[in-house]
Amino acid sequence: MNISQGFKLAIKSLLARKVRSLLTMLGIIIGVAAVIAIMTIGRGTVAKVEARFDKLGANMISVSLYNRDSTRQISVEDMYELVSSKPDLLCDLSPSVGLGGGVKYGNERHSGTKIYGVSEAYLQTQLLDLTEGRFLQYMDVERQAQVCVVGHYVNRVIMGGRALGSSLKIRGRNYTVVGVLGPQDELSDIDLQNAAGGVDDVVYIPYTNVLQLGETPFVSSYTLNSRTRECSEAAVAAIEELLLECYEKDDYFQITSQKERMEMMIAMQGSMLSVLSMIAGIALLVGGVGIMNIMSISVSERTKEIGVRKSFGARRRDIRLQFIIEAACTSATGGLFGVGLGVAASFLACHFMKLPFALAGDSVLLSFSVSVGLGIIFGFLPAGRAARLEPIDALRYD
């Protein structure tokens, strides 16, 4: 018997027992579909995370200082000198100082509005979207100008969409709004009304104004950019070297890069996807066991057929090849159904989860190949049993 004859007999056998064949393939179908869906959703999630970090500033580095000893403290000038001395690694430095108390507009006080003192480079470090006016400038910081930039919530809800050119009171002083930021949260107008204290309920003023108020004697937070994402680790090392020279130990500061956060999130998602892929792989394995079980039943049902074929000169290898091909056809058909189901499920899942649809072609090929391989492997045992049957015993089998 040649291979083409084996395929014809295998297809004929599958079509003769449609329902049983479908139930046999079910484990393979579910396993293949699960592997494809998990891998595709995983890639879409990674792409979304990378896009999100790019939007937030993939090159951003945050520095937090915890030491309150005034005799051993990094100054703003020290940080600017570091950036100037490492132009190939660092750029866009902005001190960041929080100021409590909220703002007053007209006769209403809004205590939930966050106020930050920053420099002109803060816009670049955070990749903020400026929709009206301008951001803070170098001369505003140098002269401690009483100007501010407001968030989307402050403009729309507190100031009725007429923030630019208007004035806010901060600590009893009038600050002129010179710029308005776009929304950082994608909220509808109805949701925006309830977004007090959120990321858009914010006002930025020159950091020198906050220091001049005397609420804090030094800056404890900085944001800056590495020149490229690739040099982020070297940039962090340069900052750490400066801080260790001052503080002598790393208990007094923390340096975090966006690249590090992104890699950590991707690693966590990768671990979770690996576990889910293993579970899907178990479904494939169960499907293979199901094929072996059904093939064993098929051998029992077709014992007399085997005896007749052997009495007419069929060799052991012919019988073995016939059942192996049948097992392979069963698993391959299940694999094809699984690929179709997996692609459809991946597309729908990515659509509803708002993920980019990036079909994992290697997972399609891998899961299909594994399904066919499992069919052949698990088909060997019943095929060997069929090949070892003696013609007389097979013909007398009832």
pLDDT (tens digit, 0 to 9) for every residue of the chain, 398 residues total? 556 665 666 666 666 666 767 777 777 888 888 888 888 887 787 777 767 666 666 688 889 888 666 667 788 898 999 999 988 988 889 999 988 888 998 888 888 899 999 999 999 888 888 999 999 999 999 999 999 999 988 998 888 888 898 999 998 899 999 999 988 766 545 466 666 768 888 999 999 999 888 667 788 899 998 888 788 888 888 998 888 888 877 788 888 887 777 777 777 777 777 777 777 777 777 777 777 776 666 666 565 565 556 555 556 666 666 777 777 787 788 888 888 888 888 888 888 888 888 777 777 887 788 877 877 777 666 666 665 655 555 455 55
Q: What is the CB neighbour count within 10 angstroms for residue 375?
A: 29
Listed in sequence order, the residues at least 6 apart from 390 whose beta carbon sits closer than 8 Å to its beta carbon are 310
Each domain of the chain, given as residue ranges in start order, spans 3-53+264-395, 93-227
In sequence order, what are the beta bridge partners of 95? 222
Q: Both tokens of residue 389? A: 């049957």
Compute the 3-state secondary structure of the chain and give helix, strand, coil in percent, each to the nearest 5. Answer: 60, 15, 25
Rounded to whole angstroms, how far apart are CA atoms 42 and 362?
13
What is the pLDDT at residue 54?
Answer: 64
- CA distance to 100, 119, 195, per residue, from 152 (Å): 19, 19, 10
CB-CB contact of 294 with 22 (8 Å): no
- For 178, the 3-state DSSP assignment is strand
What is the pLDDT at residue 146?
Answer: 94
What is the pLDDT at residue 392?
Answer: 56
CB-CB contact of 155 with 168 (8 Å): no
Q: Both tokens of residue 179? A: 């710029």
- Residue 102's nearest CA partner among 251, 247, 202 is 202
Rounded to whole angstroms, how far apart are CA atoms 356 and 348?
11
Q: Where are the beta strands (DSSP E) in the chain?
A: 60-65, 90-99, 103-105, 108-110, 114-118, 130-133, 147-150, 167-170, 173-181, 202-206, 221-226, 253-257
What is the pLDDT at residue 13?
Answer: 66
- Residue 389's nearest CA partner among 327, 328, 305 is 305
pTM of the predicted structure, to 2 decimals: 0.64
- For 205, the 3-state DSSP assignment is strand
